Structure 1
Amino acid sequence: MKEHLSEGITDYLNVVSGSRLLLDCNFTVGKNQYPYWSWNGSYADIDPNIAWFTPQIPNLTKTNPSTEICRLNVSKVQSKHYLYPFICSVKNGAGEVSAYIALIPPVPDYKIYLIAGFITLTLVITFSMIIYKFFKVEIVLLYRDSCHPYFLKKVSDGKLYDAYILYPKNSGEGSTYTSDIFVFKILPEVLENQCGYNLFIYGRDDLVGEDAIMVTNENIMKSRRLIIVLMGESSSYNWLGNTSEQQIAMYNALVHDGIKIIMVELEKIKSYEHMPESIKYLKQKYGVIRWSGDFMEETPSAKTKFWKCIRYHMPAQQHWSSSPREPLALDSVLNYKKKEHTAL
């Protein structure tokens, strides 16, 4: 940086620390004159980074032969140079004249920092949203697992069950066999034994002789989720809305906001055209999770993609089962269902 300074003028100059600085002091030529630069009460050139000299500038001499220049060369501006002004003085027999120039650090351009900060924040938010979109299930489950002790201390919401299981109950027959395996064997093994949830399954947890309507209504009201199990064959979903249990469950799902719905397709359902309107509405609102496991697998794992999605939609565990529950024997389930079908 190069700056011109005339005698008698006091000026301020923005200079970046660490940069090189050239200061030209113009003065009128006279007899026995001695130009010099000073700083902090001493000659400026006592600092090894500073020197001054009087250069010969032909163009300036021809234009104005009575003017000369005393040039200050600061090879590296330091923070201490902001403390005191540099003084250009010219001394002769008649006296001394001086000009002052003070160095000041440049004012930060906050606009650049604001723009850079905004761009950085935008990129971070966008990147975080992309990460969350693709890994939100894993992120939520990791958060729940790491914060599990805090959930244990959570005040009870008055619910007894984490989920009420609504599943096909057509009597006998092969279309519901896989749903029985899923409901009475696979669901309890994963959600209860591995994940610590408490499920209510009609046909397992109710008592013989109890009023079906009362049992259904009370236990749905005591549940945080309603899991609806759907099969692929049209004959397997004719049961929806045809019994008191399904009617009560649909009423709670559609009218009461306190219970959230998890819909599970055990087989791919190509069209919901012939489904009840209530199921169409719930599918549109909550979506469906399609089963992708093996019904014959002895010990299904809760770490598969399907079960992670189920756990994501389930409430955070507030308790752990004190002991694993043994799956109900499938033969006893089928026998119970025949009796139950008659009762409903």
Structure 2
Amino acid sequence: MADLCSMPPKVLFPSSNQTLEPVLGSQITLNCTVQLSFEKDCNSVFHWMKDGHWLDNESSQYTSEEKVWLSNNGTEFTSSLLRVNLTSDEDYGVFACLIRNITATFTLQRSEAAGHVSAVLAAILVLTLLLFLAVIYVKCRLNMLLWYRDRYGELEINDGKLYDAYVSYVDSPDDRKFVNFIMKPQLENRHGYKLFLDDKAILPNSEPSADLIMNVSRCRRLIVVLSYAYLEQDWCNNNFREGLWRLLELSQRPIFVAFESQYREIAHPAINVLKQHKNAVTLLLWRAGSMTPSSDFWKELCLALPRKVSYHAIMGDPQIQLQEDKDPMLILHSSYLEYHGDPHPEGDLGVRRSILRGLPPPRVIGPDGPPAPAADVMEEVHLEEGPRNEIDISDLGSRNYNARTDFYCLVTEDV
């Protein structure tokens, strides 16, 4: 019997040091279960310690309970349950379960309870971040798309096109002012596009004319100013759907510009046709605030137009750089034409008249008196030679003006 009692029990739970994080104010139960390998007559009493000190079983802070049961093969198991009420920070620590020479430990650490305040604050923070990202996307979406297009977009060069856009509008006062005084200066002067303007009906018949096919084929995009006056044309009233298919064959993704004040009131079938084919066309609205260069209208229009390539400016015309031609008409910098004042207003010798004169006229000597000038020569005595031409034209024959034939054609063309 003594040999059986000397055999240590086998700890089933916990198998190692167990760390728990209960919330302050809660109750936790520590379970220490062992398998006994000796008879009931052996001493098998459980003892509990906290931070190296024995626990008082009479304390209301800790209560223990023991359970014993047998398995089918006669093996005996026993458990000791210690209930701990966590009312303060001193109740946390290291608890040890001892039976004979076997120890099982539990470590209790304080854990803050997940309150509703922190959850609500986290939700508000996430919603604020999402709202901020949405506002940034709405405000900067076009700028980011333009930046990406200008940096990584496809270049449409060396395609045989002469113009960037073919602008079709009707010859009415409002449309003519919009195209010539708003759209053309903005796109050409600010963004560097080259436009081809046409105020005639682009589809007067069922089939496109040869001039229309040729002109549109020379342009990379097609812009249509869709106004009241434009929709009053015969082809818009009779066969706009068929005409739209013709335009889609001539140009990729045509751009239609409508005025918002008119767009809301237009009850024309063409508007419904454009809405049905919104994936194949680009419909832009000219609003009250679209006049500013930084408005969304111009950004959307530039996104629909091809990407422009910016070339670095060169100093002077490359065709004449090697000819050392200093003709002011061929110099790009206007500073060559500015007058900075004469550093020697009186000339090098202090005189402002020409030094070079002709020979003095001959004098007529009278028979009885001193020589007197002839009457017909008197005026020649008082006349001086006119100012000499200061421009040296001896090298004009050696200059090559073929490099700027475009300029000289402009100034020599017959009017």
Of the two, which has the highest radius of gyration?
2
